Structure 1
Amino acid sequence: MQDQANDLKKYVMINKTNGARIKCTEKYLVSWLARGFEVEEIIIPQVKGSLQS
């Protein structure tokens, strides 16, 4: 269940030099950080269903 939540997590990134904003998944986070973007917000969706195993 935790892996599913990580797959759905989104990052809102901002490049403060030019004001550009993007939204990406954890898979591309390092690439955008290398391009000068910073994490502005992390969006974690609610996972539906039971939390019991």
Structure 2
Amino acid sequence: MGMSQEELSHRVGVDVRYLGGIERAQRNPSLKVITSIAVALNTTPSALLTDVTS
């Protein structure tokens, strides 16, 4: 989407290191954070949680 991690973390309201941890599967975000990320990316929480490798 052409958005940096810093911008996304600002939109979501979380620290950029926490967001990076989510991206690397080192953190388990709450449903509230997942929803905030989805809103910031103009998508749905279910789209973020869908396994695209299957």
Same fold (TM over 0.5): no
Q: Higher relative contact order by CA 8 Å / sep ≥ 6: 1 or 2?
A: 1
TM-score under structure 2 normalisation? 0.28
Q: Which is richer in helix?
A: 2
Q: Which is richer in strand?
A: 1
TM-score under structure 1 normalisation? 0.28
